[in-house]
Amino acid sequence: MSIDPNSLDYMPSPLNKSVVDKFLLVINIPPALKKINSKSIRNNKSIQLDTLQFSVWGAVVPRINVPAIDLKYMGANMPVSTHARPSWDPVTVNFHVDNLWSNYWVIYKWLDLMRSDEDGQFGAIVDDQGILDSSASLPEYSTEMVVYSLDEYDKPTVKWVYTYAFPTNLGSVEFNEQQTSQVKCDFTFQFSQLQCELV
């Protein structure tokens, strides 16, 4: 039996690769974080970025749930759709911390912005005059996150767009001087809507 190399049944899946991070997460910096945008990310007070990219792996796509209910019909129960969608499950992604800890620090600063460790206030943003601004709302601290699935040539094939996304948890960092592997971490984010698009 001959195998057609162009057959969809024969073509190898681009996800069946030995590397673990075949997903790219691109985060647009939200407006609230841009308000502390300044000279350099290294002064530990400012963020000099418009977008942030992570090479990620893990549960990068949540399950999609449109529940059904039983409808009584002629003495039997017939499942029908509720046409409702509950709030999305949170998404946790794993990433490698870069050499300068910049990607870790931006997520930390984002969480700190929503509840400052200095004054414990929500949305504690200080403007140019040093006045505390606590009026930050969802559009201020949330943003659009996009996860791309990459093929064997590192070209995007599909993308998931998460709207009104914001982090809720930044994982712990474990150090092991016996290993030469990169430092790993994870963070969890919530979001409002999800769109899937073929690239």
129-143 pLDDT, tens digit each: 665 555 547 888 899
User: Which residues in the chain show pLDDT less than 70?
Assistant: 1-21, 36-49, 116-136, 177-180
Write down the pLDDT at residue 131.
Answer: 58
Provide, rounded to the nearest whole percent, the portion of the chain with pLDDT above 90: 31
Q: What is the pTM of this model?
A: 0.75
* Per-residue model confidence (pLDDT) at position 33: 83
Q: Mention every residue, 6+ apart, whose C-beta is less than 8 A from residue 167.
A: 107, 110, 111, 187, 188, 189
Please say whether the dihedral angle defined by the alpha carbons of residues 176, 98, 96 and 22, taken in this order, is positive or negative: negative
Average pLDDT, the chain: 78
Query: What domains can be seen in the chain, in order of their start residue?
Result: 23-198 (2.30.110)
